[in-house]
């Protein structure tokens, strides 16, 4: 799976402002605020906010990176960024954790990674992407989100070709571990 290939047609375009004010805004460069954009604290705050408000659970950042075992089914959701920043937000967990996330969101119980679980994980990833880009005003206004794509299976890897920067954090709630990755492969 080549995440760099994801950007393109599927993105909703970042809105353009008209007139002089709009031109000034569009002349801004994210390169000047790359430290803010790549601040790990923004991702941690976004994950904690989404899980607290939508699942009602507290999340902790884990020191060791989360590695999904090829032995078990895993669920990966991807939401692409387009516009001033291109790249993707990736949520990844094992199937049982995905079911637990969906159960907290819906109040239902799940025995398999069915369409509702995939839908829930896609929405979580969508909210994580939105919350993260919302931390930087230029990004919030001039970076669009794609609709989520969800991949399930065993023993697959994610390959990213030379990103501009990447944040890969592991988190846990109630003993369930998952990872959230922000991949930036282009900045204006």
Partner 1 sequence: MSEIRTLIVDDSSVMRKIVERALRQAGIDPLVVHEAGSGIEGIDVLKAKQVDLILSDINMPSMDGLEFLRQIQAQNLAPGVPVVMITTESSEEHVKQAIQAGARGYIRKPFTAEQVKERVLPLLNAA
Residue ranges in contact with partner 1 by CB under 8 A: 12, 15, 17, 49-50, 53-54, 102, 105-107, 116, 119-120, 122-123, 126-127, 129-131, 134, 137, 140-141, 145, 147
Q: Which is nearer to partner 1, 135 or 177 (CB)?
A: 135
Closest CB 116 distance from partner 1, rounded Å: 6
CA dist., res. 177 & res. 188, Å (int): 34
Q: Which is nearer to partner 1, 53 or 67 (CB)?
A: 53
Q: Which is nearer to partner 1, 63 or 139 (CB)?
A: 139
Two tokens at 94? 């094992």
Residue 152 bridge partners (DSSP)? 75
Closest CB 50 distance from partner 1, rounded Å: 5
CA dist., res. 27 & res. 14, Å (int): 14
Closest CB 180 distance from partner 1, rounded Å: 14
HSE toward the beta carbon, residue 46, CA cutoff 13 A: 28
Closest CB 122 distance from partner 1, rounded Å: 7
Closest CB 148 distance from partner 1, rounded Å: 8
HSE toward the beta carbon, residue 51, CA cutoff 13 A: 24
Two tokens at 182? 């922000």
- Decide: residue 157, CB within 10 A, 0-12 exposed, 13-18 middle, 19+ buried: exposed
Q: Which is nearer to partner 1, 47 or 69 (CB)?
A: 47
Q: CB–CB of 117/135 below 8 Å?
A: no
Q: Which is nearer to partner 1, 39 or 119 (CB)?
A: 119
């Amino acid at each position: 799976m080549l995440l760099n290939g994801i950007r393109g047609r599927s993105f909703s375009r970042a809105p353009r402002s008209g007139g002089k004010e709009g031109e000034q805004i569009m002349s801004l460069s994210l390169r000047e605020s790359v430290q803010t954009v790549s601040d790990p604290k923004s991702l941690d705050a976004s994950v904690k906010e989404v899980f607290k408000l939508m699942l009602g659970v507290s999340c902790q950042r884990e020191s060791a990176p989360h590695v999904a075992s090829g032995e078990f089914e895993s669920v990966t959701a991807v939401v692409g960024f387009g516009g001033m920043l291109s790249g993707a937000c990736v949520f990844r967990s094992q199937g049982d954790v995905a079911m637990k996330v969906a159960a907290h969101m819906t109040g239902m119980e799940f025995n398999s990674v069915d369409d509702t679980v995939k839908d829930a994980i896609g929405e979580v990833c969508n909210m994580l992407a939105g919350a993260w880009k919302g931390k930087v005003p230029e990004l919030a206004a001039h970076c669009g989100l794609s609709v989520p794509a969800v991949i399930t299976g065993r023993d697959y890897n994610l390959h990213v070709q030379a990103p501009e920067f990447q944040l890969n954090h592991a988190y846990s709630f109630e003993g369930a571990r998952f990872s959230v990755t922000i991949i930036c492969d282009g900045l204006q």
